Structure 1
Amino acid sequence: MNISVRRSTRSLSTRALATGLALIAGFAASIPAQADEADAKRLLKSMSDYMTAQKTLSFSYDTTLDVVSEDQQRLTLAGSGTVLISRPDKIRSTRSSGFTDIEMLFDGKMLTLLGKKKNIYAQIEIPGTLDHLLDELRDKYNRPLPGADLFMSNPQDQLMAGVTDIKDLGSGVIGGVECDHLAFRKKEVDWQIWIAQGDQPYPCRYVITSKKITGGPQYSIQLSDWKSGVQVAPEEFAFNNATNAKKIELKDLPNAEGLPSNFVGAKAK
């Protein structure tokens, strides 16, 4: 998608950026051609098994989403939120991006999306599991939950589909947590994941890079305040409309991943 944006008067230091890219290029050249795929697969499976085994979990997250302008400038939108999950069929999440503030509740039968800024809400009946809900949100309603692949019943199946190349890049530190850093390639995207070391191998950061769009825009999600085995009451996932919000159709509710008003979509050339 081509994007037209308002001009900004801010300037950037290109010398620091060039130095950083030179260091990255040197590091990339030093990666062995035959990285230890077996270790990478083992670490990813360990994370997948751990995530699948958690009946309840909660975390905070920060996301970034890149868009590319008509003149090939890469711009980044930032957002934050929280997620509370009770398997097999309940989730409560929030997302705020500066231009939208959405809360989502699902109790196994009814999905509620609340637009807090305008005090409006929409509801849809989608009975079923969390996996079914996440698939419907992505494929039918174009409202994917950030990092949804990580929270399906078997993350490994979702993540590894179509992978053609795997690298184990050693250790990294995310938010003060030492992690195993893995990189994967698919036909249309590259993706990386940082997995916490120790007996709670949860995903600390997940980054997807497009290979089909000039400029290589990325989507990333970084997790913090991780908790598992939390006690959760069913009422946590029920919508009680305490603010007397107005009910509207889903199509009229802003998409949390949509563009702010100063971004104008342009037709592809």
Structure 2
Amino acid sequence: MTSVIPAVAWSCLLLAAMVPAAHGATRVAAPAPPPAASPDAPERDPEALAALDRMGAALRALKQFSLTSDASTEIVLDDGQKVELDGVVTYKVRAPNQLFLELRSDRQLRQLFYDGKALSLYSPRLKYYAQVDGLSSTLGELVEDAASRYGIDMPLADMFLWGTDKAPKTAIRSALHIGGGTVDGEQTEQYAFKQDGVDWQLWVSKATSLPKKLVITSLDDPALPQYRAQLRWDIRTAVPATAFHFTPPADATRIKLVPVAVVLSDDGQEN
């Protein structure tokens, strides 16, 4: 029998597993203090913006890759205390339209498969899975479609948008080049950006122009919770086609993924 679970609930399951830990030494050269920017004219360093363009071009040039990210998410409790939840995000990708995502922590394990036609979500420990088709054909469209239609927010999803006309570059109010540094023994350049409600920092590899580390600070909460991710890329090892195909185990139960419009409708009708 097929059970029903709201897409919002499944998205929460995905996000709850997306609570990884950043480790590995990161050394950043201390830059000279940047000049103060006028509140009426936030500084937008052309080099920092150009670095995003180079990163986008490098990401779009990848025909396939594997990515592992140790990440940590700070959760603010009702009394204002922050706790850190850790886990590992793993991607396997083949352009233009195949993707595997695993979100692993001590508490939860979730997997997402997209073979270019069907999107499959699986919880190996709970033995539940859901499948939908008819989603967009490219990965950039997929992450937006999954979020808007089913409330599924994939971690680091912006890496599928940089280098396209959907990159969130226009939302950036301030952009600074901080200076050089080292992440996992690799030479990087560090940048800092401001958007409404969010500050974020980015370390970009000098050799590949791929992102190596990301820190996002939410300004909407007085506790200023952060998300941190340290990224390790494998762009040489071939990713087999079998990585993107999901075959449900015999003991798994299929559940129905209901679109967000159905879940949030006040009158019970799909919006």
> In structure 1, what is the Cα distance between the partners aligned to 2:120 and 2:198?
32
> In structure 1, what is the Cα distance between the partners aligned to 2:219 and 2:32?
19
- 2:110 is paired with a residue whose SS is strand
Decide which moves more: 123-132 or 86-95: 123-132
Supply the RMSD in Å over aligned alpha carbons.
2.2
**1:89–1:128 Cα contact (<8 Å) kept:** yes
Percent identical pairs in the alignment equals 27
> In structure 1, what is the Cα distance between the partners aligned to 2:69 and 2:78?
30
Cα deviation 1:221-247 (Å, max 9, x = unaligned): 2211x1225423322211122464221
**1:58 Cα offset (Å):** 0.9
> In structure 2, what is the Cα distance between the partners aligned to 1:232 and 1:71?
45
Relative to structure 1, the CA distance from residue 114 to residue 188 in structure 2 (aligned partners, 3 Å threshold; closer, same or farther) is same
User: Which structure 2 residues correspond to residues 1-269 of structure 1 after superposition, within 5 A?
Assistant: 30-33=33-36, 37-125=45-133, 126-152=135-161, 154=163, 157-198=166-207, 200-224=208-232, 226-242=233-249, 244-250=251-257
Matched pairs, number = 223
**1:205 Cα offset (Å):** 1.1
> In structure 1, what is the Cα distance between the partners aligned to 2:204 and 2:211?
5
- 2:47 is paired with a residue whose SS is helix
**2:44–2:173 Cα contact (<8 Å) kept:** no
Stretches of structure 2 lacking an aligned partner (at least 5 in a row): 1-29, 38-42, 259-271
Structure 1 consecutive aligned stretches of length 4 or more whose deviation exceeds 3 Å: none
| AA of the residue aligned to 1:168 | H
| AA of the residue aligned to 1:110 | A
| AA of the residue aligned to 2:163 | N
| TM-score with structure 1 setting the length | 0.76
Residue 264 of structure 2: aligned partner = none
Stretches of structure 1 lacking an aligned partner (at least 5 in a row): 1-26, 252-269
> In structure 2, what is the Cα distance between the partners aligned to 1:121 and 1:249?
8
**1:108–1:128 Cα contact (<8 Å) kept:** yes
> In structure 2, what is the Cα distance between the partners aligned to 1:50 and 1:175?
19
> In structure 1, what is the Cα distance between the partners aligned to 2:178 and 2:165?
18
Relative to structure 1, the CA distance from residue 93 to residue 240 in structure 2 (aligned partners, 3 Å threshold; closer, same or farther) is same
| AA of the residue aligned to 2:151 | N
| AA of the residue aligned to 2:160 | F
- 1:250 is paired with a residue whose SS is strand
| TM-score with structure 2 setting the length | 0.75
> In structure 2, what is the Cα distance between the partners aligned to 1:214 and 1:102?
31
